[in-house]
Amino acid sequence: MSRAIRMLILIILLLFGIFELVYGFLGVSIYGIFGVIPESGLPAILPLIVGVFLCLVSVYLLSSMLIKEGRMKRIVGVASSYEKITIAEISELSGVKTSNVKPLLFEAIAEGLLHGVIKENTFIRKEAEAEVIIEREVMVTRKAPEKCYKCGASLNPQEVEWVGPDQFRCAHCGAVMTVETERI
């Protein structure tokens, strides 16, 4: 699941938690802490408890995600600046605990943020490989019809007026025709 989708889900949970908090506060203030909300039959305190839980969990997960992303950016910035650097040096320069550096480096490599390998306790940067695209060329011949489909006049491909890469105009009646292509 992408980072944006995870963040969107957590924000929706946070908003739902805030809604539950407001609904719970209204229920508690109107019907008392142990009262029952008549429309729903729920205890007034239940939406309050659900709202607190959802808000705490979503805020915790959002902050954890943002902290991890900040660490990842610092590590990627340091590691991409050197051809060869140890995990301890990355930790020192980025301010991230040594125990967190290696897993974050593996994740950055997997996500394509860094290109390189980790051998023992050293990150060795490699340049991104160029993507090779092999296209197959197909040879074709273009044939113009011998006679106009509209007026029946004989056509000479050297004497027709071309109106596009695959279309020409009959010199006699002005009908536009398409050439036929055949694979060789």
Looking at residue 33, which CATH number applies to its domain?
1.10.10.10
Query: What is the distance between the alpha carbons of residues 123 and 103, in angstroms, rounded to a whole number?
Result: 12
Tell me whether residue 130 is in a domain: no
Query: 93 lies in a domain?
Result: yes
Secondary structure class of 124 (helix, strand, coil): strand
Same-domain check for residues 149 and 80: no
In the prediction, which pLDDT does 133 show? 65
Q: What is the reported pLDDT for 135?
A: 67
Mean pLDDT across the stretch 44-64?
Answer: 92
Shared domain for 18 and 70, answered yes or no, is yes
Residue 33 CA to residue 124 CA, distance in Å, equals 61
In a domain, 121, yes or no: yes
- Look at residue 158 in the predicted model and tell me its pLDDT: 73
Asked if pLDDT for residue 93 goes beyond 60, the answer is yes
- Residues 75, 152, single domain; the answer is no
Please list, in sequence order, all residues whose beta carbon lies within 8 angstroms of the beta carbon of residue 181, skipping any fewer than 6 positions away: 140, 141, 142, 143, 166
Per the model's pLDDT, the better-predicted residue between 44 and 64 turns out to be 64
> Does residue 57 sit within a domain?
yes
- Asked whether residue 11 carries a pLDDT value surpassing 60, the answer given is yes
121 with 149, same domain: the answer is no
| Judgement on whether residues 68 and 109 belong to the same structural domain of the protein | yes
The chain-wide mean pLDDT, for the chain, equals 84
Q: Are 69 and 96 within one domain?
A: yes
Could you tell me if residue 108 is inside a domain?
yes
Out of 85-89, 125-129, 143-147, give the one with best mean pLDDT. Answer: 85-89
- pLDDT band (50, 70, 90) for residue 89: very high
Residue 128 predicted with pLDDT over 80: no
Is there a domain that residue 131 lies in? no
pLDDT class for 134, splitting at 50, 70, 90? low
Task: Kindly state the tokens that stand for 148.
Answer: 């106009």
Domain that holds residue 171: 140-183
> 66 with 24, same domain?
yes
Do residues 87 and 10 share a domain? Answer: yes
Q: 117 lies in a domain? A: yes
pLDDT at residue number 62: 94
Residues 6+ apart with CB under 8 A from 92: none
Query: In the structure, what pLDDT confidence band is assigned to residue 12 with cuts at 50, 70 and 90?
Result: very high
* 0.75 exceeded by pTM: no
- The tally of domains found in the chain comes to 2
Round to whole Å and give the CA distance between 144 and 170.
Answer: 11
Q: How are beta strands 167-169 and 116-119 bridged, if at all?
A: unpaired
For the chain, what percent of residues have pLDDT higher than 70?
A: 93
132 belongs to a structural domain: no
Same domain? 16 vs 86: yes
Same domain, 9 and 94: yes
Are 95 and 176 in the same domain?
no
Q: For residues 140 and 120, give the distance between their C-alpha atoms in angstroms, rounded to a whole number.
A: 56
What average pLDDT does range 126-133 have in this prediction? 65
Does residue 18 share a domain with residue 70? yes
Of 85-89, 143-147, 180-184, the range with the highest mean pLDDT is 85-89
